[in-house]
Homo-oligomer: A and B are copies of this chain.
Amino acid sequence: MSRKIIILIFAILSLNCFAQNNSKEDSITLKKLYNTSLLNGKSYEWLDYLSNQIGGRLSGSLNAQKAVEWGEKELKELGIDKVWLQPVMVPKWTRGVTEYAYIETEPGVTTNVPVCALGGSVPTSIGGIKAQVIEVKGLDELKKIGIDKIKGKIVFYNRPMQADVIETFMAYGGCVDQRYSGAAEAAKFGAIGVIVRSMNLRLDDYPHTGAMSYGDLKDTDKIPAAAISTKGANLLSSMLKLDPNVKFHINMNCRTWKDVQSYNVIGEITGSEFPKEYMVVGGHLDSWDLGDGSHDDGAGIVQSMEVLRLFKEIGYKPKRSIRVVFFMNEENGLRGGKKYAQVAKDKGENHVFALESDSGGFTPRGFSLDCNADNFEQVQSWKPLFEPYLIHFFAKGGSGADIGPLKKEGMVLAGLRPDSQRYFDYHHAKNDTFDAVNKRELELGAATMASFMYLFDKYGVK
């Protein structure tokens, strides 16, 4: 055997041995992270506070400010290297007195239906609006129906989420245009208001709010927009089939104010080897105002904070600088995400990795990744490490809205993918509350995120 071959064999054996030791060490670290989260976790206790002591925290509200102060305080108590607030101006929209609506089948004969204003909507005129309803399944239909039949009426968008789409986020993507652009489009055809079927796969009585946009409409052309519960939508649709002349009355006094000062909350563990390489983990601190935002996105906030705590608990000192970011204003503006990325760019900070949890606190299944082939291959090689935790899903796809603006060549953007089947039962609705979150599922998510970050910190971004 030639010396070259002997050296080669020796090199291969060493590498193999190194890989085995590394893999064993990684297994042990992951086990520690999961055990600590499940046996001695803080995520659930934090979520209890954020959900029950603070509650819904729409951007620009007093509650959002309380959440900022709470986040800063909790991060400081973790004893990490730095904690600061990053100023950002955010929109302020208020719901006002609770909305109401009814279907009127003949003068004075009415049936109440559950509605809520969409975020950003203008109010109705005082006392509400009442008009005939024209039901459509999507934006395209408006043109076919034509201005003559739409003018002066309320457009009712009633295309449901598709139940046969397995990934509920895909089903959501398939109808959210009705909510986001429905009013702007209907206004062009002379509608005086729109109601949109809630983005919910269940039949129930909760209207689901969410962001909408008037595009470039003039203020005077804007028309009020509300969501109606899925059961309300079915009722209205069936009544319209019996009598196309039934009227719909809705009263809303929501309002948009001047932008106000708010903050992203940021904490950092400075890296021991590569302090100038930044890895972000985060969620969004704001929520809609109807529930207490436990799944969207209280879960992501407390899981992100737990990642840093778990590192400290198990004594892991990251090589790279790990930042937890509680982004402000994901729901109706994304101002926090944009601001964070802008400041990072202005300062020339080298962000190599970002992970967001904003898909609910359900049993984690894996991650979706926006990254290059080398990093994706590296992630695939970690699959065996995650098998004991039933984490199987590592796929190309979107990451998270708040971290999206950070995107650049060579960077890894990742989103935690929990089981999504129940997410839209709660999303943006009054029942998105603490009791809808299971402690273990939340804790498993936090440990899964910490494990993923640990591996990227240890092996680096390719």
Which residues of chain A have a CB within 8 Å of any CB of chain B? 34-35, 38-39, 163-164, 166-168, 201-202, 363, 365, 388-390, 392-393, 419, 421-422, 425, 438-441, 444
CA distance A438 to B388 in the complex (A): 26
Interface pair B425/A438, CB less than 8 Å apart = yes
Interface pair B390/A365, CB less than 8 Å apart = yes
Starting from the known contacts A38-B163, A422-B438, 17 additional A-B residue pairs (CB-CB under 8 Å) come to: A34-B164, A35-B164, A38-B164, A39-B163, A39-B164, A163-B440, A166-B390, A166-B444, A167-B390, A168-B440, A363-B363, A363-B421, A365-B390, A392-B392, A419-B419, A421-B438, A421-B444
Contact with A441, one of B163, B393, B422, B440 (Cβ below 8 angstroms): B422
Nearest B-chain residue to A163, judged by Cβ: B38
Nearest B-chain residue to A36, judged by Cβ: B164
Contact with A389, one of B163, B166, B440, B441 (Cβ below 8 angstroms): B166
Known: A201-B440, A390-B393, A439-B202. A363 touches B166 (CB 8 A): no
CA distance A390 to B201 in the complex (A): 18
Would you give the shortest CB distance from A379 to chain B, in whole angstroms?
16
Interface pair B441/A421, CB less than 8 Å apart = yes
Would you give the shortest CB distance from A201 to chain B, in whole angstroms?
6
Q: Which 4 A-B pairs have the closest CB atoms?
A: A392-B392, A35-B164, A38-B163, A38-B164
Residues in B whose Cβ lies below 8 Å from that of A201? 440
Nearest B-chain residue to A35, judged by Cβ: B164
Residues in B whose Cβ lies below 8 Å from that of A34? 164, 166
Residues in B whose Cβ lies below 8 Å from that of A388? 166
Residues in B whose Cβ lies below 8 Å from that of A39? 163-164
Residues in B whose Cβ lies below 8 Å from that of A441? 421-422
Contact with A421, one of B163, B167, B168, B440 (Cβ below 8 angstroms): B440
- In the complex, 30 of the A-B residue pairs with CB atoms within 8 angstroms, ordered by the A residue number, are A34-B164, A34-B166, A35-B164, A38-B163, A38-B164, A39-B163, A39-B164, A163-B440, A166-B388, A166-B389, A166-B444, A167-B390, A168-B440, A201-B440, A202-B439, A363-B363, A363-B419, A363-B421, A365-B390, A390-B393, A392-B392, A392-B393, A419-B419, A421-B438, A421-B441, A421-B444, A422-B438, A422-B440, A422-B441, A425-B438
Would you give the shortest CB distance from A9 to chain B, in whole angstroms?
33
Residues in B whose Cβ lies below 8 Å from that of A389? 166
CA distance A375 to B208 in the complex (A): 47
Would you give the shortest CB distance from A417 to chain B, in whole angstroms?
9
Would you give the shortest CB distance from A87 to chain B, in whole angstroms?
39
User: A38, A363, A389, A440: which has the most chain B beta carbons within 10 Å?
Assistant: A440
Residues in B whose Cβ lies below 8 Å from that of A444? 166, 421
CA distance A163 to B442 in the complex (A): 13
Would you give the shortest CB distance from A47 to chain B, in whole angstroms?
15
Residues in B whose Cβ lies below 8 Å from that of A393? 390, 392
Residues in B whose Cβ lies below 8 Å from that of A163? 38-39, 440
Nearest B-chain residue to A202, judged by Cβ: B439
Would you give the shortest CB distance from A239 to chain B, in whole angstroms?
24
Nearest B-chain residue to A37, judged by Cβ: B164
Would you give the shortest CB distance from A320 to chain B, in whole angstroms?
28
Would you give the shortest CB distance from A397 to chain B, in whole angstroms?
13
CA distance A202 to B442 in the complex (A): 13
CA distance A34 to B164 in the complex (A): 7
Would you give the shortest CB distance from A20 to chain B, in whole angstroms?
23
Would you give the shortest CB distance from A445 to chain B, in whole angstroms?
11
Residues in B whose Cβ lies below 8 Å from that of A164? 34-35, 38-39
